[in-house]
Structure 1
Amino acid sequence: MTRIFIRSLIFNVLFYLLLVFWILVAIPTFLLPRRALIKVAKMWGQSSIWLMRVVCGTRVEFRGVEKIPAGPLIVAPKHQSMWETFALLQFFDAPLYILKRELTWIPFFGWFLIKADMIAINRQKGGRILMEMARRASEEVNRGRQLIIFPEGTRTAVGAPPHYKAGIAQIYADCNVPCLPVALNSGLFWPRRQFMRYPGTIMVEFLDPLPAGMSRRDFIDLVSEQIETASNRLIEAGRLEQEALFGGVPSTATVVPDRTASNQ
């Protein structure tokens, strides 16, 4: 593991230096249309994937790319890591995120979020947040954008019981566009709140889009079932790969599943 620690250290340093580099590259886009900034953001994401492969030996396999619909869309990925927040950008023409407004206060990085018309929410508004999110999301998606929203609301460790939020069902109902579920196993290789980055293959699978017009209950049941079933399959494949590489799954990359927990 000493070698992996050293590689992780090198990667983390270079990752943030690379972010600074792309922030500097993107400064002229303040004077250009939003699509120029989005193009730079996509290059940042792709270069970060490349950096992780070169330094950490972490490859990426994208499956089902042909299933991604054109036009306005809700994208619902499993959320295990920071990795998917930038790695999925490359597949969408006008990506949109919902984020806490405090991120927009970060010099340059936050200003780019504002320039990109991301939806920044004030969490102190309590119950009014959902209505505000749904309204803003509907407006932006109906302008042709692709909303990337994590149904669980936050990163969850591999093996942790899933908990899908009602907010995505409300947004789905208000937007009235298809939803693309996305399964992945990134948490095995870039664990949340962890320093280590592990070699192996991050697998991402774009699943069959769900049509607009389903009831909220049917939607949340189906999207959670599809994402969890596919993600568990990818996690099992990743664990088998880690068994071959390390003789076991690194303890920092996963938690012991609660077999008694509900999937809903």
Structure 2
Amino acid sequence: MSIEPQVAALAHRGFSLDGHENTLRAFRAAADLGFVWVETDVNTTSDGVVLAFHDPTLDRVTNTSGDISDVPWSDLDDVRIGGTEPLSTLGELLRALPEQHFNIDVKDESSVEALPQVIADEGAVDRVRVTSFSENRRRRALASIERLTGKRPLTSAGTVGAAGLTILSKIARVTDRTSPKIATVIWSAMTKLWASKVAEFDTVQLPVTYDLSLPGGFKLPVSVVNQKFVEVAHRLGIAVHVWTINDAPEMRRLLDLGVDGLVTDRGDILAQVLADRGQWPPRSASSRV
């Protein structure tokens, strides 16, 4: 009997139909569904405590307001997400959920310094993937983690790397008619050119389409994740994760396309889609995914 390839299923900020994102309850709910990987973000308080929290401010999801970077952790005891759930530090989550793997998006400058120490203190380098839209933050955070632990965690590309791979996939539509090796040569040249600014990555995490801003406020949707993109990424040994996919037909379409992972708010739906395909529960937190 053949075994279906493993898919990285990532519970986006945990799993909570009530919108209690990035809470211990949401992450435990994802674990209860069978998720090995959960996705979170980090912002850091004024006294250096790393929180699992997406926004730079408390305004959107809590019962108070203000910038996280302006407040010490001791002043956040009474803050509740959705009015009921306390804030969680990343260290608390790593200790409370020792079997979970965390895909961590570095959102602010303070976390570049604070996050690596948490990962080192908790001995968690082998169960995290570190990323950031800011290539500068991602590169420096990775360097600090490696300096503190002697290891480099899994990492997905920042904006520069993802854009470079997207452009290459467009070029490959033409060059592959002559030889698939041409795109590989171009990629080698690109990565050498940006080597001092862009840290190596094993994964790209990106949306299906990207809205390109044009003069006059117009938006042009640009296809990112398509058959050629996935093919080129795999040719280069790079895994493709797509966010944030919440409906079953789109999940199935992307899985049929060959993507390696899906990030979702609807862990219940993704678990069922993968179960129907014989790909649930996950067998392991494979380094490939």
**TM-score (structure 2 length as normaliser):** 0.24
Which of the pair has the greater relative contact order for Cα pairs under 8 Å at 6+ separation?
Answer: 1
**TM-score (structure 1 length as normaliser):** 0.25
